[in-house]
């Protein structure tokens, strides 16, 4: 006797459901067996900040990202500091911090300005002789907010688990999703959803912070109180020296002037001006006569060329011959080599106050960035490796990836054939969250993310008047890591207090 069709369908549905459930259970068991979540080390500390003793707990270790079946995908390394004795954490702010790159771990913000320890440098921001040291950071942000420092996949100790391809985390969208998942999990595991929440990023970390604010609002309805954008880059057309893209030549010019002024390469009348008034003069020239000249290209007359050449020479300290040879368009690498060529020196990219020496003086660009390789790399790498093991009691066989190429190639498939521009992400986030505050920190001697490029970006985001009121920009006479300069470091602390107030 034939079985009714309805019975066959019911049996088939039961069998399929059972098989799927078994498959899911097996996947969960398999994932947990092969890649169990690593342990987290807890230590207790105290520090005096602004004359007040702060007792805090440090958590050092990994938070594991998993798929919906519980299969491990990646282990994200983090260091979290939470103040002890807080009865209601919903009243205590929490700030998630990261650097940029892409390919940088979070040690620069951690040991430079925000965390409870900081690298000991000279007042100018130059390294002391090795062995390098770190000290208590009496101006840490820990008295204002709990802190979580995140190292994205392939930076610091963070890695994809065995059997998973790192490439699934290495790209603008991929990075936002994985770091966003970390923040969601951390808030869920530590009951911080109801706490005031902030994001602090530096360099590409500002790109990430803006993307995260918008993504977490849209994906999980997680809203933030504020963003701290240190050395911001939101619109990549402003910093890419591509043929046919004249924008960077306009926006880098004030930083060229600041650098030439610092190294005393300008005419006497300009050297006698204070930096801020001089930069206003140059900004006006850049946005008007110089911008019009660049747009004209070969339509520019000889009279216009002469006028622009004379002013560029005054504002940059470069020769008329050099300016004519590069069509009055000064690329950053050339400037860093050319300004002090006669002295046999180069200036830094991250901080143009810093000076380096190459093999010879004939090159087009410097051999290394003196503000990175000869200034901060050694002290910060030494400090983070020593500090994690000695004071946080965390041990691992992995190498701590400070600033690595292991994230390359970085995937920008979301902006094929155009420049990444997250200024629109910021506008969108602020429109949906009218309470969102933004603090922008810019250094006058920063060639990686020039302050005028940041100003241009915010002036082209077309924010409404009520949104502009939520944005505050502060400027410092230092470079990309402005906090290595003691005077700027102290000013940042004062500006931080206004931000949290």
The per-residue pLDDT for 39 is 87
The per-residue pLDDT for 18 is 57
DSSP class of residue 112 equals I
Range 26-43 average pLDDT: 66
Where b means 16+ CB within 10 Å and e means fewer, 382-392 reads: bbbeebbeeeb
pTM: predicted TM-score of the whole model, two decimal places? 0.91
- What is the phi-psi region of residue 382: left when phi exceeds 0, alpha when psi lies from -120 to 50, beta otherwise? alpha
With a cut of 90, say whether residue 355 has pLDDT above it: yes
CA 67 – CA 73 distance, rounded (Å): 7
The per-residue pLDDT for 12 is 53
Q: Are 351 and 443 in contact (CB under 8 A)?
A: yes
Q: Are 258 and 274 in contact (CB under 8 A)?
A: no
Collapsing DSSP states into helix, strand and coil, what is residue 52? strand
**Which one, of 275, 271, 308, 310, lies nearest residue 292 by Cα?**
308
Range 376-401 average pLDDT: 96
The per-residue pLDDT for 309 is 96
The per-residue pLDDT for 71 is 94
Q: How confident is the model at residue 37 (pLDDT cuts 50, 70, 90)?
A: confident
Any bridge partners for residue 136, and if so which? 117
Q: How confident is the model at residue 407 (pLDDT cuts 50, 70, 90)?
A: very high
Backbone angles phi and psi of 311, in degrees to 5: -75, -40
Q: Give the pLDDT confidence of 443-466 residue by residue, as tens digits.
A: 999 999 999 999 999 999 999 999
The per-residue pLDDT for 382 is 97
Where b means 16+ CB within 10 Å and e means fewer, 120-138 reads: ebeeebbbeeeebebeebe
Q: Quick check: bond before 39 cis, omega within 30?
A: no
DSSP class of residue 37 equals P
With a cut of 60, say whether residue 34 has pLDDT above it: no
Which of these ranges, 28-32, 111-115, 192-196, has the smallest mean pLDDT? 28-32
Q: Are 461 and 401 in contact (CB under 8 A)?
A: no
Q: Give the pLDDT confidence of 244-266 residue by residue, as tens digits.
A: 999 999 999 999 999 999 999 99
Range 394-400 average pLDDT: 95
CA 500 – CA 155 distance, rounded (Å): 29
- Residues with Cβ within 8 Å of 469's Cβ and at least 6 positions away in sequence, in order, are none
With a cut of 50, say whether residue 28 has pLDDT above it: no
Range 338-353 average pLDDT: 97
Q: Give the pLDDT confidence of 124-179 residue by residue, as tens digits.
A: 999 999 999 999 999 999 999 999 999 999 999 999 999 999 999 999 999 999 99
Q: How confident is the model at residue 33 (pLDDT cuts 50, 70, 90)?
A: very low
CA 141 – CA 364 distance, rounded (Å): 42
**Which one, of 178, 191, 215, 175, lies nearest residue 65 by Cα?**
178
Range 325-332 average pLDDT: 96
Q: How confident is the model at residue 438 (pLDDT cuts 50, 70, 90)?
A: very high
- Average pLDDT in the chain: 93
Q: Give the pLDDT confidence of 78-135 residue by residue, as tens digits.
A: 999 999 999 899 999 999 999 999 999 999 999 999 999 999 999 999 999 999 999 9
Any bridge partners for residue 203, and if so which? 232
With a cut of 80, say whether residue 13 has pLDDT above it: no
The per-residue pLDDT for 491 is 97
- Residues with Cβ within 8 Å of 431's Cβ and at least 6 positions away in sequence, in order, are 467
Domains and CATH numbers, the chain: 40-237+376-500 (3.40.50.1820), 242-330 (no CATH)
More confident residue, 38 or 243: 243
CA 121 – CA 110 distance, rounded (Å): 15
With a cut of 70, say whether residue 14 has pLDDT above it: no
With a cut of 60, say whether residue 27 has pLDDT above it: no
Residue carrying the six token digits 């922008």? 440
For 326-347, give the DSSP string.
TTT---HHHHHHHTTGGGT-EE
CA 333 – CA 314 distance, rounded (Å): 20
The per-residue pLDDT for 122 is 97
């Amino acid at each position: 006797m034939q079985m009714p069709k309805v019975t066959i369908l019911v049996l088939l549905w039961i069998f399929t459901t059972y098989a799927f459930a078994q498959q899911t259970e097996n996947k969960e068991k398999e994932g947990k067996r092969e890649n169990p979540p690593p342990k987290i080390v807890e230590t207790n500390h105290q520090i005096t900040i602004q004359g007040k003793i702060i007792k805090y707990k440090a958590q050092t270790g990994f938070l594991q990202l998993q798929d919906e079946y519980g299969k491990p995908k990646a282990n994200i390394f983090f260091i979290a500091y939470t103040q002890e004795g807080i009865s209601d954490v919903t009243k205590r702010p929490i700030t998630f911090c990261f650097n940029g790159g892409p390919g940088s771990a979070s040690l620069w913000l951690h040991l430079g300005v925000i965390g409870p320890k900081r690298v000991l440098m000279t007042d100018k921001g130059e390294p002391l002789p090795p062995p390098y040291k770190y000290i208590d950071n009496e101006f840490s942000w820990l008295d204002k907010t709990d802190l979580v420092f995140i190292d994205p996949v392939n930076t610091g100790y963070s890695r994809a688990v065995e059997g998973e391809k790192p490439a699934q985390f290495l790209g603008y969208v991929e990075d936002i999703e994985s770091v966003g998942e970390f923040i969601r999990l951390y808030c869920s595991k530590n009951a911080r959803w109801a706490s005031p929440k902030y994001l602090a990023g530096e360099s590409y970390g500002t790109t990430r912070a803006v993307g995260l604010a918008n993504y977490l609002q849209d994906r999980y309805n997680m809203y933030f109180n504020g963003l701290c954008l240190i050395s911001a880059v939101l619109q990549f057309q402003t910093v890419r020296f591509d043929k046919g893209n004249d924008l960077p030549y306009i926006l880098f010019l004030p930083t060229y002037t600041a650098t030439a002024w610092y190294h005393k390469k300008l005419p006497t009348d300009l050297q006698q001006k204070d930096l801020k008034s001089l930069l206003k003069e140059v900004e006006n020239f850049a946005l008007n006569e110089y911008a019009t000249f660049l747009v004209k290209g070969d339509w520019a007359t000889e009279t216009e060329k002469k006028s622009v050449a004379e002013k560029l020479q005054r504002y940059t300290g470069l020769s008329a011959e050099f300016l004519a040879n590069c069509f009055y368009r000064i690329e950053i690498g050339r400037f860093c080599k050319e300004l002090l060529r006669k002295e046999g020196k180069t200036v830094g990219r991250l901080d143009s106050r810093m000076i380096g020496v190459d093999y010879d003086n004939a090159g087009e660009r410097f051999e290394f960035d003196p503000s990175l390789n000869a200034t901060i790399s050694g002290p910060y790498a030494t400090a983070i490796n020593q500090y994690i093991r000695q004071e946080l009691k965390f041990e691992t066989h992995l190498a701590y990836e400070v600033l690595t190429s292991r994230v390359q190639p970085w995937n920008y498939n979301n902006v094929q054939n155009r420049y990444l521009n997250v200024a629109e992400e910021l506008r969108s986030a602020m429109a949906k969250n009218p309470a969102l505050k933004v603090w922008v920190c810019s250094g006058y001697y920063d060639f990686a993310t020039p302050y005028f490029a940041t100003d241009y970006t915010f002036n082209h985001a077309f924010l409404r008047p009520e949104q502009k009121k939520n944005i505050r920009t502060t400027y410092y006479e230092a470079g990309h890591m402005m906090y290595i300069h003691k005077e700027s470091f102290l000013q940042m602390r004062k500006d931080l207090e206004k931000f949290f107030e």
